[in-house]
Amino acid sequence: MHFLLIIKKVFLERYRMDENKNEFVRETIKDKPINRKKIYRKFLVAAGSAICFAVIFCAITALLLPHLLKRRGLMLAEADTQTATETQPQPTQTQVQETQTQKPDPVVVDPTLSLEDYQKLQTQLYKIGQTANKSIVVITSVTNDTDWFNDSYESEGEGSGVIISENSKVFYILTEQKLIHGSDGVRVTFIDNTTVDAQVIGADKNIGLAVIAVKKDDMQDTTLGRVAIAQTGSAASVTPGTIVIALGSPLGSSFSVLTGTVTATNLEASIVDHNFKVFSTDIVSNSSGSGILINTDGEMIGVVMQGISDEGNTITAVTMTNLETMIDLLTGGKTIPSLGLSVSTVTSKIANEYNLPTGVYIKSVQMESLGAKAGLQVGDIITQMNGEEITTADQYGEVLLAIEQGSTLNMVVQRKGADGYADITYKITIGEK
C-alpha cells in the first residue's frame, strides 16, 4: 500500500511538471512579425494589374463602339432631326461657330431609282412623245425613171417632217432638202396613216432644209382633227443632263420615240454663211436618220441635221433659235440670201495676238458664189455691211438674212497688202446668179 502511495505521488508531481512546462510554452510563443515591404509589393502588383485592365478595356471599347452603334442602326432619323430642330432654340453666333467646327458623320441618302420608278419615268416620257407625234409626218419622195428595157418605174425615198405652221388653206411642213431634191412628187403620211400629195414651197441646199405644204381640202376631217402644229420652245435652259425626246425617224423607223439626255451644249457647226449653235445627245441614230428634239414639255427645241457635226452615231441638233429666220423665209417661198462664204469671228484676243483687224475673217469662198463673183478672197476681214459695223460671225449672218432679194449689199473688207491692211468696198446685188 505504501508503495502505491509513493507511485501516485511521483505520478502527480510528474503531471504538475508537464502542466507547468506546457504553460511555459504557451506563454513564450510570439506572433510572427508583419513584413510590410512584401505587403506593399503585393499592393503595387494588384494596382498595376487593375490599371492595365482599365486601359485595355477603354481601348477596346473605343475601337468597337462605333462599329457596334452603326451595326445596330443607332443613327438619327430624319424625322427626329426635324422635330429636334423645331423644338430647339436658334443658336447664337458663337454657338454656330462652335458647331461648325464639329464634323458629324454625314447621313447618306441613296438616290438610286428602282426598276419600277425607272419604268414609270420611261412610260411618262413615251406618252409625251406620243402626244407630240401628232405633229410628225412621213415624207415620201417619188422619182420616175426607166430601166434598161425602157420600162418606167418609181423609186422612193423616205424621211420625216414636222408640221410647223398653217393658214386657212394649208399646213406647212419642215423637212430635209436632200429628201425632196430632184423628186417628181412628194407625199405626206400623217399619224393616222392617211396620205396626201404635197408641193415644195422653198428649199435651200446650204442649210439642208426645205418647207413643203399640203392642202387642207385634200385631208380627211378625221385627219384634220388628229394632227397638231409643233410648239417651239427655247433651248436657253438646255444644259448637259437635260432629258430630251427624239421624234421622227432617227433610226429610220417612222414615228419613233427615243429618249436620252443632252451631253454637250457648247458645240458649234459651220455651214455656208452661218455658224450654228448645236447640242449633242446620247441618243443613237444612223446616217439617214431625221427628226426633231423636244423637251419634257413637248416643245420642239432642235432639228436633227445629219452630217452637220462629227459626233458619230448619236443625234446632234441645231437649236431653233438659229433656224427660225431661215424657216420663215422658206415658208414664204423666198430664197435664203447667201454669199457663199465660210467665216469666223476675229476676237480682240486673236486680233492682238496675230496683229489683225477685228471683224469677221473669210476662211473660204465657194466657187461661182456671189462672194467669189464679187471678188472676195480668203483672208479678207469683213468690217462693215450696209453701214453697220460687223464684229462677229453671228452678226454677219443676221445682217445677210435681213437683206431682201434684189437689194444691193455694200460691204467693206480689210485686205492685207504690202503696206498692211487697207479698206476695200464691194457692191453686191443679192439674188443675182
Listed by start position, the domains of the chain span 133-226, 243-331, 341-429
Outline where DSSP puts E strands in 300-340.
300-304, 314-319
User: What is the radius of gyration, based on Cα positions, of the chain?
Assistant: 48
What pLDDT score does 318 carry? 92
**Is the model more confident about 65 or about 267?**
267
Amino acid at 67: H
% of the chain with per-residue pLDDT over 70: 70
CA distances from residue 432 to 327, 370, 409, 410 in whole angstroms, order as listed: 21, 7, 12, 15
Say if residues 279 and 316 touch (Cβ distance below 8 Å): yes
Mean pLDDT, range 420-426, rounded to an integer? 95
> Which CATH class, in words, describes the domain spanning 133-226?
mainly beta
Confidence of residue 182 (pLDDT cuts 50, 70, 90): confident
% of the chain with per-residue pLDDT over 90: 55
Architecture of domain 243-331: Beta Barrel (2.40)
> Which CATH class, in words, describes the domain spanning 341-429?
mainly beta
Indicate if the pLDDT at residue 260 is higher than 70: yes
Give the model confidence (pLDDT) of 40-84 as tens digits. Answer: 566 666 666 666 656 565 656 555 555 554 555 444 444 444 444
Q: Does this chain's domain 133-226 share its CATH topology with 341-429?
A: no
Give the model confidence (pLDDT) of 25-35 as tens digits. Answer: 444 444 455 55
Name the range with the highest mean pLDDT among 64-73, 152-161, 330-339.
Answer: 330-339
Mean pLDDT, range 338-359, rounded to an integer? 94
Residue 424, strand partner residues: 413
